[in-house]
Amino acid sequence: MEMIAVYSRAITAVGYDAGTKRMRISFQQGHSYDFYNVPLDIYSGLMVAVSKGSYYNKHIRDRYQF
């Protein structure tokens, strides 16, 4: 999965596999997590969000299994 670097105080990079709907997020603390069954619009929303951390907390955290 290709990881795309993002500008964020919380997140360093994001990757998405549309075929499996798996999203990987790498955090500033050095941890990476895979999230499953993530719709494309959620991934797209994260990538265009002004605050990646806020978007993650509102739309991804505790909503998709990892």
3-53 pLDDT tens trace = 999 999 999 999 999 999 999 999 999 999 999 999 999 999 999 999 999
Q: How confident is the model at residue 66 (pLDDT cuts 50, 70, 90)?
A: confident
Domain ranges of the chain: 3-60
- Which pLDDT does position 5 carry in this prediction? 98
For the question of whether the overall pTM of this predicted structure is more than 0.85, the answer is: yes
- Which pLDDT does position 42 carry in this prediction? 98
In this structure, the strands spanning 22-27 and 32-35 are antiparallel
